[in-house]
Structures are given as structure tokens and as C-alpha cells.
Amino acid sequence: MSTDTAGTSTGREYDLVHRTTYTYTAPVTDSYGRTVTTPRELPDQHVVATSLTVEPTPSDTTEHVDWFGNRTTYFGVTVPHEQLVVTSRSRLVVSRRAASVDALPAVGWEDVARGVADGDLSDVKTDAAGLRSLREAVLPSRHVVPSDQVRAWAEPSFTPGAPLAEVLADLAHRIRTEMTYRSGSTTVGTTQVELLEQRTGVCQDFAHLMIAALRAHGLPARYGSGYIETRPPAGREKLRGADASHAWVSAWVPGAGWVEVDPTNDQFVDDRYVVLGWGRDYGDVPPLRGVIFSEGSGSQLTVEVDLVPAGLVPFS
């Protein structure tokens, strides 16, 4: 926790390391990639310092802000290599306070859906992104496709006249209690219908399901990507490099803007979370993606993440 000159708490200060390692079965002649591992600068999240290193050293790197305002870096490695290591390091201060149902505007979900569809938002306050961004967040996307099955599953949460804040809390609670978190039980291609059938998944799946449920009812929702500080069991040290990327939902509530809620943990997002970026779904904000040129046919992927209070030493 950092303090200002008057000794007042100003937020939680973190050191963050995210390292991705690809080990290839045969030499790679060229690698071209894009990373989304630099945290965003936000009113409640200040990036003190950040750096990105790629090994082998790339011949070209370019920083870019994408359509959604996320900070990305493109790189090209043009020397032969059998291993690619991409490491992002950041120090940041997070002062975010979690939203609550009682504190959020009590606007009915049908009124929000109707206002977005009709473009009649004169009685509510839109955020700076405007109506176009809101309508974009209602459309189907590659990994989020509203369906009859999703709508039927979500229906009990959308009682007539219910405030949107209550709908968000109820959906998050139902996902947390009706679904089982099981690492490796799904892939990036798992659909919401498949998730509802098997009832097991990971944070990415749960975020996609909640987004699909909101969009199926005409409500703007987007995918939040970042990290959450993990806390070890009492009496045990935190494992270094054991954190992972996390996903949650950002839903638009008139008068409050985009509200972050985490269905995996059944809670609104607070200062334990670090925001990397937002998109329509996972496909807009993967930590790393790209292409390689090689005669080989496979690779081994290792991801290490450490999010620790500033002053502790993340893994080297």
C-alpha cells in the first residue's frame, strides 16, 4: 500500500512479471508476434514503469494502441532460434474500489437494452466511448455467440424490472455456484453451449458465458483481461511464478460507466486486479500471438506470471 505526503492511502503497489516461453522441436528461422502484456493506464491504475524484452533480440519492434485502447507491442525475430522468450515487467499502483449493487444506479435492465437499441440515451449518462462502442459490445463475436441455450440458462436472472446491477451480481453468483473450475477442461474454441453441457471450465469460459448472456438480452458487455493477486493458504508462502492471466466481464451501467465483475470468483473487481485490456472476447486480447517459420511441427509452451506487492522480488 502506497501513501501520499499526508500519509493517506493511495492504492496497492505491485510488481508484475509475465514470461512466455516457446521451445520448438526444430529451429525457427523467423518469429513475428504481438503482445498484450503491458497494463493500461487508467484513472484507478497507474503504471509507474514497464518494459518488454524478447529473446532472441528482435530486429524490429513497434508499440501500438489498438482499436480498444489496449497497449500492444509487435516484434519480429529474424535470426534462427529454438526458443522464444517474451518477458513483460511492470510496477503499478492500483486504487480501484469494487462496485456494489447498493451503490450502482438502480436502472432496469430492459431500459438499458431499449436505450442502446433505440439510441435514446437522453435520460442516462453514456461513457466517453459513445453509442457506437456500446452497440459494438452487444454484437456477437468470434468466441461469444448468444444462443437459445444461453438465453434459456440466463433467463432466471433477468426478472422483469430488475436493476441491471442485480442482474450482474446474480449472473456472477450463478456461474460461480453452477459451474466447476477445472484447469485444462476446455480450449479456446469451447463454445458457451458446450460449457453449459459439461458445466466445467476456466475463467475465460465463465467470462464468455456471462458476456453471451448479457448480449443475448441486448446489454453491452466486453471481455476484461489481466491478473488477480493470489493469496496462499494461511501459514504458507506464496508460490512464485504461480499466478496466471485472469478474465472477467465489463458491463455498461448507465450513470456508472463500465462496471467490472468477476464471475469466476463471484465478486466485483477491486484493487487486487490488474487490467491489461478489454475486447469483444479473448480473441482481441490474448497475451501473445503470432506466426513462425519452421520445418518443425510442434512446440512446448510455458507461461509464468508473478503479481506481488512492490518490494517483494518476483522471479528472475
Tens of pLDDT, residue by residue over 260-275, are 999 999 999 999 999 9
CATH of 109-269, picked from 2.60.120.10, 3.10.620.30, 3.90.850.10, 1.10.3720.10, is: 3.10.620.30
Phi and psi at residue 204, to the nearest 5° = -60, -45
Other beta carbons within 10 angstroms of residue 136's beta carbon come to 15
Q: Quote the pLDDT of residue 128.
A: 42
Q: Quote the pLDDT of residue 132.
A: 85
The C-alpha atoms of residue 89 and residue 315 are separated, in whole angstroms, by 11
* pTM of the predicted protein model: 0.91
CB–CB of 175/192 below 8 Å?
A: no
CATH of 2-95+286-309, picked from 3.30.70.980, 3.40.50.1360, 3.40.50.11720, 2.60.40.2250, is: 2.60.40.2250
> Residue with C-alpha cell 450513470?
255
Q: Quote the pLDDT of residue 5.
A: 38
The sign one gets for the Cα dihedral 66, 49, 245, 62 is positive
Q: Residue 100's closest CA among 267, 228, 214?
A: 267
| Ranges of each domain in the chain | 2-95+286-309, 109-269
β-sheet bridge partners, residue 172: none
What letter would DSSP give residue 68? T
Rounded average pLDDT per 10-residue block, the chain, 316 residues: 46 95 93 96 97 96 94 96 96 97 96 90 56 92 95 98 98 97 91 97 97 97 95 73 85 94 96 96 94 83 92 68
Q: By three-state DSSP, how is residue 24 classified?
A: strand
Greatest distance between any 2 Cα atoms in the chain: 61
Q: Quote the pLDDT of residue 232.
A: 76
Q: Quote the pLDDT of residue 126.
A: 57
The C-alpha atoms of residue 243 and residue 246 are separated, in whole angstroms, by 9
